[in-house]
Amino acid sequence: MNNIDHLISKSNTNNFKVIALDYNPEIQQIFLLKAKQDLELFIGILDLRNNEIKEILLDEKVCARPYGRINFHAVNKENFYLSVDFSHLKININGEIVLKDQLDGTISSLNKKHVLKNYVFREDLVLIDFTDFKEHNLSDFFDDNFDEYDFTYFYFDDRYSIFSSPDNNILTVILYCKDRDHPKCFHCILEIESPEKN
């Protein structure tokens, strides 16, 4: 515990604000998304195993907005996912932005996103792959597998629920029957191995 306290106190010396954090227990590293005073973002790594601190400056200036939407996630040992408002970035361990896309511009009304280990899952049942930011529509999967039940999967008025496990690519979706006079629900637990095979 002293090791963690020591690293955290050393990493806070410049009064940078921590915006988000993630932890990888396998390699015993804490990943911090930090903002400078001008809100420019960079990544800090607290290596608990080797008692080291590393800072990763991005090769392009990326700034946070006050009260803006930010998601940060370590995809693996070599890459990070960062979403700032409507920009989605894949950043490697050297701070290079290796992939950048604008995915949300047309669906700004969708606020709920679930960050999984290798994907982002949006409330319109779109799965975004961290590898290439390709979008996969999971409603096709539900149609193929649950069509006989005549369920509807997508309501904005709290008629469905989604839970996720960010470490394991596991989604739990509660589907509701289209017949509102005789409501039924179905709990579906998906472990996503690939967008084509669940």
Q: What is the pLDDT of residues 17-53, one digit of tens each?
A: 888 888 888 888 989 999 988 889 999 998 988 888 8
pLDDT of res. 114: 78
* pLDDT for residue 129 is more than 80: yes
CA distance 8 to 38: 22
Name the β-bridge partners of 114. 121
Q: Where are the domains of the chain?
A: 2-102
pLDDT of res. 103: 59
pLDDT of res. 8: 67
With contact defined as beta carbons under 8 Å apart, do 124 and 112 qualify? Answer: no
How far is the CA of 179 from the CAs of 58, 87, 123, 156, in angstroms? 51, 39, 22, 17
pLDDT of res. 108: 45
Written as one letter, the residue type at 163 is F
CA distance 62 to 29: 23
* pLDDT for residue 109 is more than 50: no
pLDDT of res. 59: 92
Q: What is the pLDDT of residues 90-107, one digit of tens each?
A: 899 999 998 887 655 444
pLDDT of res. 58: 93
CA distance 75 to 56: 16
DSSP state of 11: H
pLDDT of res. 178: 62
Q: What is the pLDDT of residues 153-180, one digit of tens each?
A: 554 445 556 777 777 888 887 776 666 5
Percent of the chain with pLDDT over 90: 11
Cβ contacts of 4 within 8 Å, gap of 6 or more: 30, 46, 48
pLDDT of res. 184: 67
Name the β-bridge partners of 17. 35
